């Protein structure tokens, strides 16, 4: 049985990148396994950075307290005998500031008022996530990390570790990530936020104690789910099929809707939205999407390569051919920046039709290269690199495109 620590640490005064401060930053976390410091200054500690709406509960070994997709969200990867083996490594995952799973954020109590912060909470950046994690690790007695691993927005968080704390981590693994969002993803995130803020129940973010803007949050989540699935997976899973006779529309419909079928893809989006609004805070969704939108690896530097130049550890980038949210081409761009900066790197491309969610739902493809990289670095047997096969780097045609047609019209 893996030892598990679950709780919240008080980190004291914290100044956000925006310049605003709070007197006491609270960070909720879970830690699995036993910490071991090494004689060379390293350790067996691995930090996992959760995705946009994830939580600190990364494994079923953890303590119940989250639900839905936030509960044991990477259980197929993290745990005893798994790719990130909690009998070998000391694994920490922290809920980022701005979120709603126990860390300081909009739904948390403002000590000065005794009421939820709401939109009075300071704006949060991914850089703030990174600095809060460093502060938490200091509290836990963890110095240099064996690795930092994370997917999606968490992968951006991983890249930021290499920039802010290049001497504090031996290996980084950004999974299904990018140096920055492209214009299409920025646009879709903006639509998602407007769905929330245009809901009358949002009340300028001061909805605590009354009816929250669930319709707006539901629509925002539906936009997100379309981004997470590939065009191929949507067609194979739903096609144009009508939902069953017992299926009920979640949103108001026009009179003509009774003549036309309520399709499986609509029913799926409605179901996912209904589950999501039960577990996530609308203001936190606004805050965290802005954190992700704002991130730019090269900010403050001349280029991505310049930003990574101080990092001397090894890097494993993982991307998925069906992912148009964070494309293979975007990961390859980060790999090229690493090569330019003389950062040892491998870009491992996974053939998959699952879209952005592939890193969560295909552990049999993610696990082996991740396990081997953590144990043996770039020499790991299951680790492959695009540079090994020139045919994979001939042009962007080999990489997952942005599917403009998906949202055409």
Active-site positions read: 152, 323, 356
Q: How many CB atoms lie within 10 A of CB 39?
A: 5
| Distance separating alpha carbons of residues 96 and 135, to the nearest angstrom | 12
Q: What is the DSSP string of 267-293?
A: HHHHHHHHHHHTT--HHHHHHHHHHHH
Residue linked to tokens 């809920």: 95
Structure tokens at 122: 């300071």
| Distance separating alpha carbons of residues 343 and 55, to the nearest angstrom | 30
Structure tokens at 207: 């909805």
- SS3 call for 6: strand
Q: How many CB atoms lie within 10 A of CB 140?
A: 16
Question: Residue 252: exposed, middle, or buried by beta-carbon count in 10 A (0-12, 13-18, 19+)?
Answer: exposed
Torsion of CA 328, 166, 6, 366, to 10 degrees: 30
Is residue 43 within 8 Å of residue 92, measured between CB atoms?
A: no
For residue 346, give every residue at least 6 positions away whose Cβ sits within 8 Å of its Cβ, in sequence order, or none: 315, 316, 317, 335, 373, 378, 383, 384, 385, 387
**Phi/psi of residue 173, nearest 5 degrees:** -135, 90
Structure tokens at 224: 């997100």
């Amino acid at each position: 049985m893996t030892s598990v620590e679950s709780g919240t640490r008080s980190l004291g005064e914290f100044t956000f990148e925006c310049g605003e401060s709070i007197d006491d930053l609270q960070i909720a976390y879970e830690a699995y396994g036993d910490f071991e410091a090494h004689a060379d200054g390293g350790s067996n500690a691995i930090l996992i950075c959760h995705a946009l709406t994830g939580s600190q509960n990364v494994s079923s070994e953890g303590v119940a307290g989250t639900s839905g997709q936030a509960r044991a969200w990477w259980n197929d990867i993290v745990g005893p005998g798994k790719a990130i083996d909690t009998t070998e490594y000391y694994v920490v995952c922290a809920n980022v500031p701005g979120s709603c799973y126990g860390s300081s954020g909009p739904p948390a109590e403002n000590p000065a008022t005794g009421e939820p912060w709401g939109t009075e909470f300071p704006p949060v950046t991914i850089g703030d996530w990174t600095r809060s994690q460093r502060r938490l690790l200091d509290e836990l007695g963890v110095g240099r990390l064996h690795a930092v691993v994370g997917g999606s927005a968490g992968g951006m968080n991983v890249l930021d570790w290499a920039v802010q704390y290049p001497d504090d981590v031996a290996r980084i693994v950004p999974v299904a990530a990018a140096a920055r969002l492209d214009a299409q993803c920025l646009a879709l995130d903006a639509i998602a936020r407007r769905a929330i803020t245009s809901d009358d129940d949002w009340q300028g973010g001061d909805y605590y104690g009354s009816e929250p803007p669930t319709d707006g949050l539901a629509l925002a989540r539906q936009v997100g789910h379309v981004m997470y699935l590939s065009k191929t997976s949507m067609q194979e899973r739903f096609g144009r099929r009508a939902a069953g006779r017992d299926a009920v529309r979640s949103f108001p419909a026009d009179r003509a809707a009774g003549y036309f079928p309520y399709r499986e893809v609509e029913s799926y989006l409605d179901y996912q939205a209904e589950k999501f609004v039960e577990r996530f805070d609308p203001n936190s969704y606004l805050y965290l999407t802005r954190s992700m939108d704002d991130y730019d690896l090269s900010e403050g530097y001349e280029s991505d390569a310049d930003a990574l130049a101080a990092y001397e550890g090894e890097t494993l980038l993982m991307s998925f051919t069906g992912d148009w949210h964070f494309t293979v081409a975007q990961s390859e761009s980060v790999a090229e920046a690493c090569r330019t900066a003389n950062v040892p790197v491998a870009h491992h491309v996974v053939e998959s039709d699952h879209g952005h969610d592939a890193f969560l739902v295909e552990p049999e493809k993610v696990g082996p290269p991740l396990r081997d990289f953590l144990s043996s670095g770039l020499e790991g047997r299951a680790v492959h690199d695009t540079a090994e096969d020139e045919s994979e780097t001939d042009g962007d045609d080999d990489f997952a495109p942005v599917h403009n047609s998906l949202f055409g019209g």
